Amino acid sequence: MVACDHSMCGVVGIMGTPDAAREAFLALTTLQHRGQDAAGILSYDEMGFHQVRNIGLVESVFTRENMATLTGSCVIAHNRYSTAGRGDVSEVQPFVINFPFGLGMVHNGNIVNSVALETDLKKQRRRRMLTHSDTEILLNLLADELAKPMHGDGEMTFDHVCAAVEALCHRVNGSFSVLTLVADHGLVAFRDPYGIRPLAYGTKAVESGEAHMFASESVALDFCGYEFVRNLEPGEVVYIDKTGKVHSRVISNRGAGHCMFEWIYFASPESVIDQVPVYGARLELGKKLVQQVKAELDRRGLVADLVVPIPETSRIAAITLAEELGVPYREVLIKNRYIKRTFILDSQDKRQKAVNLKLSPVKSEIAGKRLLLVDDSIVRGTTSKKIIELVRRAGADKVYIVSTCPPIRKPCFYGIDFPSEGELIAAGLSREQIEKELQADAVIYQSLEGLQAAIADAQRPPADGIMVPFKPCMACLDGEYPTDVSSVGVSFSATRAAARTLKRQSEEKENR
């Protein structure tokens, strides 16, 4: 079995309100950008677990009728973005296991040693996985630890929870923000020791006292009326017990490694991740590009008539870049909002076809103009090349493309969908070769220093006022991985290729 999900998803956990399922639905809707493949909600009450999960967008998975079955004041929920696995309902989170206690789990991230962990669970613990998801592996690992003998009357204590999560952290290599519903006990949240994937926590007053909410992004808390309290620290465990008491402990903080791609592309602009507003970071990304763009255009004797964002993540940076350059800002690529985000489509052919449907050029504004296109990043180059072709057909005289992200040259093993170096246009080509490949008159990238400075300058002090400088994970840019990946590259790519084959075969069978 291939045990990998390669997922960059959205997770939600709510405890302490009879409206938990409805609020989870609303929260998933605000996190739809984090996963468009599938969605699920698991609730718990005195009658047991209740679950709804299926393939599709949030609004198509949940109905008035099936939402009525999700009773209880404790829920966990998940939006799935996958690039591997079978793609059927069996892969859709939340996952449930009956022993010990009864556990439900959702997970955002990617486990790079999942194959070795699955093999060990099978041989040493006699646990056989039923899916291709690394979340199921995490669930079994946690269950294995929680099943160990406890002191006292057998009631699960916070010390017991921490010991179980600490043991899991010692064995697991990768990124994980996890929410676990423990039947008759409460809700457990924990984050990997490097804090690679985000997890926010908030509270609000309700009739029964206080409700608690965890979510991948603070935008979900805001929308559901929860006051943002803080982000979980790297390696932190938070346990809300059945009385509503909050227990928290940092058990394995190995230093910061927050994924820079959250601010570049993935997160919603309304969110604040680890004290850095996403909107503010993107404004700063535009500002940090100004001198580079000026210098490169001057050096080559080039002039831009318009600054044009490639919808829609790059819009914020493009505005500040245009302001600082003194070049008019124009939105002349009109987005069809009914097309999926092309970056997270799982094949190059799908991405190429989607671009043609996704954007329509305003020919009357483009014809004869020298365009400075601004994109959040250039990963495979597929989308960039198609857009350059699009504006040239619309009559653009010159086309320059600016990336708010530095060149992506290394694979990501932590959940962003470029785990193969061969897929990355910047991995083996010089900038001149990239310009030729994209058919651009100029390609300008953000610098590593500019990216770091943009995130740092946007950082806001936490509630205690103590600023903790952190270096985001930029392994895909500089090859400095926060965890040891020396032995996983080849097997990881092979596993991913096998899993994608399974998914493609499943889709072909479904389409026949």
Residues taking part in catalysis: 9
Residue 356 burial (CB count, 10 A): 12
Distance of alpha carbon 188 from alpha carbon 74, whole angstroms: 11
Give dist(CA 497, CA 494) in Å, integer.
5
- Calculate the CA dihedral of residues 266, 108, 40, 273 and round it to 10 degrees: -50
Nearest to 131, CA basis, from 53, 74, 32, 35: 53
Give the length of the chain: 512
Residues 382 and 348: beta-carbon distance below 8 Å: yes
User: Residue 200: is it exposed, middle or buried by C-beta count within 10 angstroms (0-12/13-18/19+)?
Assistant: buried
Which residues, 6+ apart, have CB-to-CB distance to 9 below 8 Å? 34, 35, 78, 79, 80, 81, 93, 106, 107, 108, 216
- For strands 370-375 and 306-309, give the pairing: parallel
Q: Which residues contact 116 (CB under 8 A, 6 or more apart)?
A: none
What single DSSP character describes residue 329? B
Cα separation, 195 vs 306, in Å, equals 39
In angstroms, the CA 422 to CA 133 distance is 24
Return the structure tokens found at 353. 């076809």
| Tokens representing residue 377 in the block | 């990043």
**Token pair 């998940």 is at which residue?**
78
Q: Which string of DSSP letters, residue by residue, matches 168-203?
A: HHHH--EEEEEEEEETTTEEEEEE-TT--S--EEEE
Q: Are 386 and 356 in contact (CB under 8 A)?
A: yes
- Both tokens assigned to 496: 């991913």
CB 108 within 8 A of CB 177: yes
- 470 CB contacts (<8 Å, ≥6 apart)? 256, 258, 274
The helix or strand, by DSSP H or E, that contains position 291, with its residue range, turns out to be helix 278-300
- What the block records as the tokens of 237 is 């465990």
What is d(CA 311, CA 380) in angstroms, rounded to the nearest whole number?
Answer: 17
Is residue 177 within 8 A of residue 170, CB to CB? The reply is no
